[in-house]
Amino acid sequence: MKKKVAFYTLGCKLNFSETSTIARNLTDEGFVRVDFSEYADMYVINTCSVTDNADKRFKTIVKQAQKVNPDAFVAAIGCYAQLKPEDLAAVDGVDLVLGATEKFNIADYVNDLSKNDYGEVHSCEIEEADFYVGSYAIGDRTRAFLKVQDGCDYKCTYCTIPLARGISRSDSLQNVLKNAKEISEQDIKEIVLTGVNIGDYGKGEFGNKKHDHTFLDLVKALDTVEGIHRLRISSIEPNLLKNETIEFVADSNSFVPHFHIPLQSGSDEILKLMRRRYLTDLYVNRVNKIKEVMPHACIGVDVIVGFPGETEEHFLTTYNFLNELDISYLHVFTYSERDNTLAAEMEGVVPKKVRSKRSKMLRGLSVKKRRAFYEGQLGTTRTVLFESENKEGYIHGFTENYVKVKFPWDPSLSNTLQEVKLTEIAEDGLVRCTILESVRASV
């Protein structure tokens, strides 16, 4: 009887791409993948160290699995498993905890799925996680997450990712192109490039510390791959987003005019405490450059509120900075202390109540920004990649510049690219459209 395995993934696109690759490996080893809500012989939880209450979330997910099959073998992998292996091993029902170097070798640890009294830990010092393993995920059959880079050499004072994922290293350009081709042959219309610090692409490509290629080389090479309709850059550090890259995207065949650029604070004083590698003037310069060559581009911004030392004045500086900037939406993160980070030792701790008040204000600003961006797109002609789910009688999709669109449900539109005219903003904030014509495969 083939063994059944189910996966639960927390966190970022990178984690989803790795879960997908690990699942493919286990399927090659004879396992059958089932949904996490179904009966399985083994449940694998891919953890995240950024998620708030990561430990509570993890325990809840383990209980969920045990409810379906109390005798199931439970394995924990991912960033939290690398940072706190013993904590996870001590959770009732956990049988195996694999660190950053072992997660891709999970097949070697699951020949015998009988339960352990205590979670068996196979972890390592993060310095040993200096090699690269490629991966991609074809989640919802509409878009794929393609991992191109892993780890980070930056030292942002609030961040645990370098401790969980190790040094910055990249896939070989050749292997990225092979994966991209493989994905496009499965009728996937959009590829989202993912990693930890993808602007640092090329570093450690061949196991050394230097850049054999740059992010721009990667972008140029991917733009020539046959059969890929859309390429989306998931997130890129402002100091690594060069003018040449912005100009190339503006004229490219496949790269879409959508940039997600972490800012974290609109106050230079706080940026210095965060040890970010830029100040606000560089950020303004990036946004202006994008809008100069792609006025319709969508710009998303990550921002952290409640960082130690953030006064009301610093916060208002951030609020006004974002309010004046021509950006499209915000992802707002409430600062929370992380073990082994410099920020956790810093003075000027902001009370939790104040953190959530500031977070609420910025989320309100994000709604205002997104609406203004959408209003600016009404009447324009865009290309929508329709997804495949019937959502209360509508099919949803995103334009190239990340406007979320809805259209009366029509299954024949699933996973197709359509040229549309954006007409009005519906009560739920999505944009209605009229379909002009189907976009034939031209690439």
Contact positions toward ligand SF4, by CB under 6 A? 152, 154, 156, 159, 161-162, 196-197, 237
Give one DSSP letter per residue of 8-75, joined into a string: EE-S-HHHHHHHHHHHHHHHHTT-EEE-TTS--SEEEEEE-SSSTTHHHHHHHHHHHHHHH-TT-EEE
What is the total residue count of the chain?
A: 443
- As measured in angstroms, the least distance from the Cβ of 313 to ligand SF4 is 24
Nearer to ligand SF4, 273 or 385 (CB): 273
Nearer to ligand SF4, 193 or 431 (CB): 193
- Phi, psi torsion values for 62, nearest 5 degrees: -60, -45
Nearer to ligand SF4, 259 or 386 (CB): 259
CA angle 265, 266, 271 (to 5 degrees): 50
CB 352 within 8 A of CB 163: no
CB 4 within 8 A of CB 140: no
Nearest Cα residue to 103 out of 122, 125, 86:
122
- As measured in angstroms, the least distance from the Cβ of 309 to ligand SF4 is 17
Q: Which residues, including other chains, have CB under 8 Å from residue 356's CB and lie 6 or more apart?
A: 334
Rounded to whole angstroms, the Cα distance separating 191 from 231 reads 5
Q: Is 80 exposed, middle or buried (0-12, 13-18, 19+ CB in 10 A)?
A: buried
Q: How many CB atoms lie within 10 A of CB 111?
A: 7
Nearer to ligand SF4, 159 or 173 (CB): 159
Nearer to ligand SF4, 164 or 420 (CB): 164
Nearer to ligand SF4, 52 or 389 (CB): 52
CB 26 within 8 A of CB 6: no
Q: How far is CA 25 from CA 30, 94, 139, in A?
A: 9, 22, 16
- As measured in angstroms, the least distance from the Cβ of 119 to ligand SF4 is 27
- As measured in angstroms, the least distance from the Cβ of 55 to ligand SF4 is 20
Nearer to ligand SF4, 78 or 119 (CB): 78
Tracing tokens 């200096």 back to the chain, one arrives at 130
Nearer to ligand SF4, 11 or 162 (CB): 162
- As measured in angstroms, the least distance from the Cβ of 242 to ligand SF4 is 16
Amino acid 176 reads V
- As measured in angstroms, the least distance from the Cβ of 196 to ligand SF4 is 5
CA angle 80, 48, 175 (to 5 degrees): 105
How are strands ordered across the β-sheet holding 258-264? 258-264, 298-305, 329-334
Nearer to ligand SF4, 159 or 405 (CB): 159
